[in-house]
């Protein structure tokens, strides 16, 4: 059995959390699409920083750009956008076969605009026009300013991957912003059938931070909760997804052909070597979800994955686990806000290193 392809039969899309010219030119991405059913690609500043540092296929273009383009950020985009376009083109048959509900590639707005709604909207429009592909998702952060940007961009008909979500509260705010944007399109007599957004909920970083807090508490009850917060939170976020997008709030939009804003499980590479390498994959397989996987995690899934519908299992247990965390003084909303701010700082640091590489 081809395990990654079997996951797709359970209703979950698997996307590759990586992109480089090497993956495109040596045929790796095409093989992942054909052989493993990979149906999307996500990128971010850290991914492009690594690509520019390790792939041999950028040097000639960068030398040319240094002679013709004085701005380092525009040089970065001139290198990255052709990769995004090429990946979009490889995934276009998937996009068309699934009626625009899969087959996307994500490109991120510069992290420094994470707290500026107007500039996020402006940059998302500019990148969308520059890439000029139907199956592009522009990535914007799930900050309060990003919530407003999502609503505006959805109203404008630009498809979005909302990134750096770390709590149920942040995710639910994004769901409602997407619905407001769709309703604004309806009020403007614009179609919603081709509107698409996903909500990227980051997982491994949650356990990394919460585990540190639990270890500091040190009681047996606290230590028994290590490695459980992220999956519990994801399962409860999925319950909110079902309640919102398969409930009254979305019914009228669904009747007009709108599709829900799927949850995308991000940061699913395990950081603690004591945990199973598929900790953030196997428990979260479910209909109308996406998991974006590193190359290493795809290999692990292919080798020893045990795919089954599990995201709706253990909901009561998940509620109990989060309640116990709260009793111990761990506020998951505060954890989410801290991780979101830290994530933006990390992406901005990667973005600055990336610009130095093109300087």
- 169 CB-contact burial (10 Å; exposed 0-12 / middle 13-18 / buried 19+): middle
Closest by CA position to 161, among listed 55, 300, 13: 13
Catalytic pick from 5, 139, 228, 271?
Answer: 139
Picking from 88, 134, 250, 132, the residue whose alpha carbon sits closest to that of residue 181 is 250
Exposure on the CB side of residue 162, measured as CA atoms within 13 A: 34
311: left (phi over 0), alpha (psi -120 to 50) or beta: alpha
CA distances to 54, 72, 220 from 59, in Å: 11, 15, 54
Contact 266, 200 (CB under 8 A): yes
Distance CA 123, CA 125 (A): 5
Asked if 10 and 288 touch (Cβ cutoff 8 Å), the reply is: no
Active site residue 196: no
* Secondary structure class of 277 (helix, strand, coil): coil
User: Coil, helix or strand for 151?
Assistant: helix
Element (H, E) at 146: helix 144-156
Residues known to be catalytic: 139
């Amino acid at each position: 059995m081809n395990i990654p392809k079997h996951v797709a039969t359970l209703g979950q899309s698997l996307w590759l959390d990586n992109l480089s010219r090497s993956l495109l030119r040596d045929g790796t991405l095409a093989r992942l699409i054909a052989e493993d059913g990979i149906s999307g690609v996500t990128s971010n500043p850290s991914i492009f920083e690594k690509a520019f540092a390790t792939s041999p296929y950028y040097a000639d273009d960068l030398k040319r750009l240094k002679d013709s383009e004085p701005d380092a950020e525009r040089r970065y985009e001139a290198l990255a956008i052709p990769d995004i376009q090429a990946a979009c083109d490889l995934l276009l048959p998937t996009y068309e076969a699934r009626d625009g509900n899969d087959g996307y590639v994500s490109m991120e707005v510069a992290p420094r605009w994470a707290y500026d709604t107007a500039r996020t909207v402006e940059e998302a429009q500019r990148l969308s026009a520059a890439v000029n592909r139907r199956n592009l998702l522009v990535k914007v952060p799930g900050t309060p300013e990003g919530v407003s940007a999502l609503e505006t961009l959805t109203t404008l008909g630009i498809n979005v991957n909302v990134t750096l979500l770390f709590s149920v509260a942040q995710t639910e705010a994004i769901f409602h912003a997407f619905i407001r944007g769709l309703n604004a399109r309806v009020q403007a007599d614009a179609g919603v059938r081709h509107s698409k957004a996903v909500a990227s909920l980051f997982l491994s970083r949650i356990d990394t931070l919460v585990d540190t807090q639990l270890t500091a508490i040190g009681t047996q009850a606290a230590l028994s909760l290590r490695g459980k917060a992220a999956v519990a939170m994801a399962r409860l976020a999925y319950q909110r997804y079902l309640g919102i997008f398969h409930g009254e709030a979305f019914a009228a939009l669904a009747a007009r052909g709108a599709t829900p804003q799927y949850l995308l499980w991000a940061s699913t590479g395990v950081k603690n070597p004591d945990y199973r390498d598929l900790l953030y994959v196997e428990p979260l397989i479910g209909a109308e979800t996406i998991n974006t996987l590193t190359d290493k995690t795809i290999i692990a899934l292919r080798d020893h994955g045990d795919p089954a519908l599990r995201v709706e299992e253990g909901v009561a247990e998940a509620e109990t686990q989060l309640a116990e965390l709260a009793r111990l003084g761990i506020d998951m909303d505060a954890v989410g806000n801290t991780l979101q701010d830290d994530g933006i700082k990390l992406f901005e640091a990667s973005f600055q290193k990336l610009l130095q590489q093109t300087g």
